[in-house]
Structure 1
Amino acid sequence: MNPDELGEKGESRFKELCADAGLICNKSDRDRAGWDFIVEDQFSLSSSLPFDRRKSPISCHVQVKTIHAKAKSVRIKLNMAERLAKELKPAFVCILTVNDAKEVVGLHLLHILDDRLSAILKRLRQQAAAQNTRALNKSVLSMSPISEDLVPVTGAALRAALENAIGLDLYKYAQRKQVQLAELGVESVIANVELRFQKGANKARELSDILLGLSAGAGSFRILENRFGIEWPVMDAAIGKFEFTPVASDSCRVVVRSKETPAVGMDGKVFRIPALFHGADDRTRLDCEFVKIDFFWNFESLNGKLTLSPTNFSTTVLGWMNYWRVTRALCSTGAIIEIRTERGQIPLRLPFEKPLGISAAAVDRWIALTDAYREIFVACGEEPSHHYGCAEIAAQESKLVLAKVLLEDPDRKFSFEIPLDAASGGSGSLPSTAILVDMIEVGPVSLAYHVLASIDSRIEGDNIEVEISNFVFRGGRKIGSDAGDLEAYKRGAQNEENLTLCFGFDMEGWFIS
């Protein structure tokens, strides 16, 4: 039989086997896609699942090759092999063996996955590395069947072999093949980087900043992939910007102490950059939430630099309290910075010799404001875990000062005037007890609370002079940010205390709510 007759014989027998197996066998009209047949199964009618939950049945590409019994291998054009390899669907080469009596006496099913997929990818990499300009359809790849590929020449055996190779889930199969296409034969990925520095720049300092992720680098770079022992550039840029994400070499605890403030501890990470040029310094950076400490040293000296983050960030109440206490300590003379690393045996204690040029009184104000915010949450039984910024809490300063007074000095008296017609239809009569309801809005959280207060009032012309005192904190909770949410909270408090007179407080002072 000539090759065409041999091929026709094999394809006809393969279609018969598919029919015997109950598989749908669709032939390619043009054998240029790397496969002769698409073989598919039908959806199962015995499944207990609803139709929309049934898994996709078998579907695969098959290239059929027919050989004489004495032949030991088949040859496939490299472009066809590439198509079989890159197709995410299962792909097979089915080798049918014919004897001298023109009978199909053997069937081998070669699965294009694992080692066979690796062999195709390796040949493609070699062809590219050799700068072989010969078209892939002029190059051939030899495939030899092994005993594990042998399948009885029956439809049932063919179906069983396909099902065993593909599995029950086509999507998982495609994911597995996709991983192999990306990773088979990959031995390493190496990045070669050429940095460019500004004229006159401190190259050692600038490079350590880049490696610590503090700034972006500019220059040219090439990434080489070593696959099947052959390097190939997968990215080649003449110039561009790139950033590094450093990996910490240790963890640390930084404690700041002074005679004027309690000790404040912060957890952080340690990053080390060795000397990169002759005569340059080694560098270690301690990175805490809002404090960064850099050490530069060589055989002759050790220098440190502490950087305190500006106040344009967001953190929690606890974070802000630590921030302002650290700032307050660093404003003091004689502050000590203690550094403990997880791997170190002895803590390092360093004097902070140059106090920050910040007003201690201004920092104390921020500490008091932050503490007042924390106290009102504690009093309400709520957890202040949200993040907020400096400007947001500063806008509520008067309300926070009032809340702190009501909690810590309930005997304090407040006097103010209200219009006569604001009370009881103008009669000037006020009950002896009232409720004060207020809301504090900082960041994404609104906190409402109420207190009871004793009322002493008298009429003075067109106004009523009011004195409130004897404050009793009654509770509070988080509410929504709409005006209606505060009004609903107020009505609830009035019903709970069985009182109607309610005072509020804003930037302009007291008012009847």
Structure 2
Amino acid sequence: MQDINLGPLGETEFTKLCLQVDLTIQKSQMDRTGWDFLVEFPWKPDNLSPQDILPAPLECKIQVKSTNEQRKRESITLSNLHRLIKAKIPAFYCFIEFDGKPEPQAIYLVHVGKEIIEKTLKRIRELENKENGYQLNKHTLDITYGDADRLVDITGQSLKHEIEKHIPEGMEKYIENKNQLLKTLGFENGRYEGTFTLASDDPIRDILDLSLGICKELDIDNSIIHDKRFGILSKTPYIERDGGILSLKVKPLEAELKFKEYKFSPGISFPANLYISPFNEFIPEERIKIRVESRFFEFIIESNQNINFSIRSYAEGSSLKELKNFLQVMTILEKSSSPIIVEMKSEIPTSYPILSFSLEDLPQSLFDPSIFNDPAYNWSKVHELAEMAIEICRKMDIPENEVLINIEELIRSFRTSGNIQLLYQALSGNVESVNLLFSVEPPGYQQGAKAAIIFFVTFYIGNYIIGCCLALIGSLSILGEQPSLTGEKFLRGRQFIGTDKTILIKEKESIDLGLNELKEELQNEELAFIHIKS
């Protein structure tokens, strides 16, 4: 066997094995592509499925290596390996041992799978930064094989079975998995690493503010970014430029803010976001800070317990319930002579305990009535309006979480329409304080007589429009030289609720019917009737 060329002999033996089990082989004309044979399996019969939807038959590329030694190791050029790992279809090395005999004594099939792909990619990346590292044909990688790779026997059936074992889910899934490996191996800890110089007089402050979402972007003087794989930076920068803008995608943790007037009071809760900077472990401890924000409140808490507190009075998109809770907190702050307790809870690392602190020495600007554009209002007054709106919604089966409203809209609802006050009094049964004044004396007016005013009220609460047919029964009198009706009883008729602004136009006939129903209900009582539409 000393004078025999093992290469052709091994290829001949491999060809025989393939032909035994009806595997089609195509020989590579020149050994420059990293493989010797393209092996194609026959279609897999399936009598249960139409032929047009059968999965593609298996195929793979195989490099045959023949040896007289038993060292179980072969040095393969990186250029050869590079081609095989990048091949979309499965690839194998077939090692045939002759041990000085004319027939194969053992055959080993090594799958070019995750382990070999990872070793090859890492070695190529390592060589990139070395001289002539791009000449992959001048560098090798050892491929080892052992008992786990050995065919059970030297037959075509064993070879076929061993190939199939590595492609259990078919070609389509195999190719998908291999592509995913090629895209992700070595990038587990990120794909890029860069350095940049901030245009700032305090870079630590600014990068913290960026990572906490306090600011959205920062100006950069210059930046260099490298592709990084297996922790090794690319020789050539991926990006290198002067100037630019740095922004971060900040993802907060879910949290809860709770405001408590006393230590053991139940408190008022708000969903919140907690921002913890990923740069905290790299900066001096005294510079560390965190940020907590809800729709209405923001806290920036520094390691020295310095707390910056701010509110967003006119936050959009809040529900009536959340707005009422905010106004309740502000009312407590406005009236209380003691500090309010704030607790923050979140599923955060154990190094960050549950936060609890007191708010005191708040700036008086928080309680400046000018914030409401009307000196008649303060936090307590606006909170009362929210309570009234909540009561109306509850009585009329409107989910308060679905009513979207801000402070400005809440004040406008009560300021521009007395109807909302009337309906609130009708719903709460508070009729004694109701006096309707007439600018002119209505027909049939007689002081002291019993009368009923039937009318339709309509108004907005946030995104909801509300209409209701009402009847106020009472006594006609003179109040401040004006004819009036002093209320004794309310009757409530049909109501109309929705977020469609055209609902009252569409329901005009129903509204008229509702007013007539109230009149019919009171028909047997000796009352003067006055109709008002508002």
In the superposition, the TM-score normalised over structure 1's length comes to 0.70
Cα RMSD, aligned residues only: 5.2
Name structure 2 gaps, 5 residues minimum: 346-351, 370-375, 441-451, 475-482, 521-530
Question: Is 2:113 the partner of 1:107?
Answer: no
Match of 2:198 in 1: 196
What is the Cα deviation at residue 265 of structure 1? 4.4
Q: Tell me what 2:125 maps to.
A: 125
Please, which of 315, 325, 338 is the counterpart of residue 322 of structure 1? 325
1:297, distance to aligned residue in structure 2 (A): 6.6
Question: Which of the pair is proportionally richer in strand?
Answer: 1
Q: Which amino acid aligns with 2:62?
A: Q
Report the CA distance shift for 1:452/1:417 in structure 2 as closer, same or farther (over 3 A).
same
Q: Is contact 1:312–1:389 with CA below 8 Å preserved after alignment?
A: no
The 5 Å alignment of 1:419-434 reads: none
Q: Which residue does 1:408 correspond to in 2? A: 428
- Per-residue deviation, 1:482: 6.6
Instruction: Give the match for residue 154 of structure 1.
Output: 155
Larger deviation: 184-193 or 112-121?
A: 184-193
Deviations 1:213-238 (A, max 9, x none): 31233435556777557454785544
Deviation per residue, 1:75-108 (Å, 9 max, x gap): 5442231132234543222334557675455432
> Which of residues 378, 393, 397 is equivalent to 2:394?
378
Give the letter aligned to residue 358 of structure 2: R
1:305 equivalent in alignment to 2:308: yes
Amino acid at match of 1:453: A
Structure 2 match to 1:290: 296
Unaligned runs of 5+ in 1: 419-431, 457-464, 503-508
Matches within 5 A, 1:29-428: 33-35=33-35, 36-37=37-38, 39-42=40-43, 44-47=45-48, 56-70=55-69, 72=71, 73-97=73-97, 103-104=103-104, 106-151=106-151, 152-170=153-171, 172-174=173-175, 176-182=177-183, 184=185, 191=193, 193-198=195-200, 201-202=201-202, 205-215=205-215, 216-219=217-220, 220=222, 230-232=232-234, 236-238=239-241, 239-244=243-248, 253-255=257-259, 257=261, 264-266=268-270, 268=272, 269=274, 271=276, 283-296=289-302, 303-332=306-335, 334=337, 336-340=339-343, 347-355=356-364, 356-359=366-369, 361-364=377-380, 366-386=382-402, 388-390=404-406, 396-397=413-414, 398=417, 400-409=420-429, 411=431, 412=434
Q: CA deviation at 1:372?
A: 3.8
Structure 1 stretch displaced more, 333-342 or 306-315 = 333-342
Once the two structures are superposed, residues 103-125 of structure 1 have per-residue CA deviations (whole angstroms, 9 ceiling, x without a partner) of 45543221111322222123212
Question: Would the alpha carbon gap of residues 290 and 467 (structure 1) be closer, same or farther in structure 2, given more than 3 Å must change?
Answer: same
Mark the CA change 1:113 to 1:511 in structure 2 (over 3 Å): closer, same or farther: same
Q: 1:111-144 CA distances to partner (integer Å, 9 max, x unpaired)?
A: 1113222221232122213242452244444433
Distance, in Å, in 1 between the alignment partners of 2:232 and 2:393 is: 64
2:471 counterpart of 1:453: yes
Does the 8 Å CA contact 2:413/2:459 hold for their aligned counterparts?
A: no
In structure 1, the residue corresponding to 2:391 is in which secondary structure? helix
Q: Does the 8 Å CA contact 2:467/2:504 hold for their aligned counterparts?
A: no
Distance 1:162 1:70 in 2: 24
Distance 1:405 1:155, change over 3 A: farther
Partner letter of residue 259 of structure 2?
V
| Cα pair distance change 1:134/1:128, threshold 3 Å | closer
Displacement of 1:66 after TM fit?
3.9
Correspondence for 2:523: none
**For 1:485-509, what per-residue CA distance to the aligned partner results, in whole angstroms no more than 9, with x for missing partners?**
556667678889994999xxxxxx9
Structure 1 CA distance, aligned partners of 2:498 and 2:92?
Answer: 64
Moved more, 399-408 or 162-171: 399-408
Task: For 2:301 and 2:159, locate their aligned partners in 1 and report how far apart those are by CA, in whole Å.
Answer: 70
Query: Residue 316 of structure 1: CA displacement?
Result: 1.7
Query: Please, which moves more after superposition, 84-93 or 182-191?
Result: 182-191
- Partners of 1:344 and 1:134 in 2: how far apart? 52
Aligned with 1:214: secondary structure? coil
Q: How many residues align?
A: 476
Separation in structure 1 between the aligned mates of residue 288 and residue 307 of structure 2, nearest angstrom:
12
| 1:292 Cα deviation after fit | 1.8
Quote the offset at 1:317 in angstroms.
1.6
Partners in 2 of 1:454 and 1:250 — Cα distance? 50
Residue range with higher mean Cα deviation, 280-289 or 83-92: 280-289
Q: Partner of 1:352: helix, strand, or coil?
A: coil
Q: Secondary structure at the match of 2:154?
A: coil
Instruction: Summarize the Cα distance change of 1:149–1:308 in structure 2 as closer, same or farther, 3 Å threshold.
Output: same
SS in 2 for 1:315: coil
CA contact (8 A) 2:295 2:315 kept: no
Instruction: Give the equivalent residue in structure 2 for 1:427.
Output: none
Change in 2 beyond 3 A, CA 1:227/1:341: same
Question: Within the alignment, does 1:481 sit opposite 2:500 as a pair?
Answer: yes
Contact 2:457-2:533 at 8 Å conserved across structures: no
Q: Deviations over 1:249-286 (max 9, x none)?
A: 9967442649xxx9644465475897998897664544
- How far is the alpha carbon of 1:357 from its aligned partner? 4.6
Contact 1:69 1:98 in 2 (8 A): yes
In the aligned structure 1, how far is the partner of 2:297 from the partner of 2:113?
53
- Cα distance change, pair 281–134 in 1 and its aligned pair in 2 (3 A): closer
Judge conservation of contact 2:89–2:175 (CA < 8 Å) in 1: yes
- Structure 2: distance between partners of 1:473 and 1:237: 73
- Which amino acid is the alignment partner of residue 65 of structure 1? V
| Larger CA deviation: 188-197 vs 145-154 | 188-197
Q: Distance in 1 between matches of 2:353 and 2:330?
A: 26
